[in-house]
Amino acid sequence: MPTALITGATAGIGAAFARRLAADACSLVLVARDEHRLAQTADQLKLRYGVSVEVLPADLATEEGLAKVESRLRDGVDLLVNNAGFGHPGDFLKVPVEDELRMLKVHCEAVLRLTLAALPAMRKRDRGAVINVASVAAFFSRGTYSASKAWVVNFSESAAADVRNPRIRIMALCPGFVRTEFHQRASMDTSGIPGFLWLKADNVVREAMRDLALGKRVSVPDLRYKAIVAIGKLVPHNLAGRVSARIGRR
């Protein structure tokens, strides 16, 4: 039975990955900060799908939390989903530098270190996969969040090229706006986002798993967002960034 480790596994896209992989009969290792919520999520998955679920409480913004998850990955997993992440309300200049550094720790350093921790066992078994959850924001200029997600996309493509093994796949997943707790936790005003731009987390995961099976290195779920990314590459970069910021939040 394959094993998947998912960070940020108790809500949103992470929880959708957990449901999908449990339905596919994968054993799960769930990582999140909230130990009580982790336990509840694990119990629900075990009851519904009858799979083995291990919980690993860890804050990936801390050295202790990162080291704990790195250690578990060195034991070997078949799939790593680097999903943990968050956003900041307000403009770049209004966010405390400590909060910005915490974001970079979770979005960039954690993705780097956990991917590197997982790969040796995958290479030894000659199989495995890593999905690094980025964002459509990676293709537009919207402060540290989009910059960090652009790093995730570039890193994932570079790592996939360096591995040079079709049986070990590394993919950046770049969804648009998804109905999750993300914006509420970040205290973001989403009233300006048109209804047709919202995606469902389960649909995002379904497309991600399809694209992973196809060997894609970057997955942009939904035709609407594929079109947005394509158009964004054709218009001036500064203009695309201003439009993205205006749609994303007031």
Residue 214 vs residue 140, higher pLDDT: 214
- The least confident of 88-92, 113-117, 142-146 is 88-92
pLDDT more than 90, % of the chain: 77
Residue 204 vs residue 143, higher pLDDT: 204
Say if residue 130's pLDDT is above 70. yes
List 145, 151, 155, 225, catalytic entry: 145
H or E stretch including 115? helix 110-125
Instruction: Check: CB of residue 15 under 8 Å from CB of residue 28.
Output: no
221: region left, alpha or beta (phi > 0 left; psi from -120 to 50 alpha): beta
pTM value? 0.89
* Domains of the chain, each with CATH number or no CATH: 3-248 (3.40.50.720)
* Tokens describing residue 33: 């900060």
Instruction: Check: CB of residue 107 under 8 Å from CB of residue 66.
Output: no
Say if residue 106's pLDDT is above 50. yes
Strand, helix or coil for residue 32: strand
What pLDDT score does 196 carry? 72
What pLDDT score does 142 carry? 74
Q: Is 225 a catalytic residue?
A: no
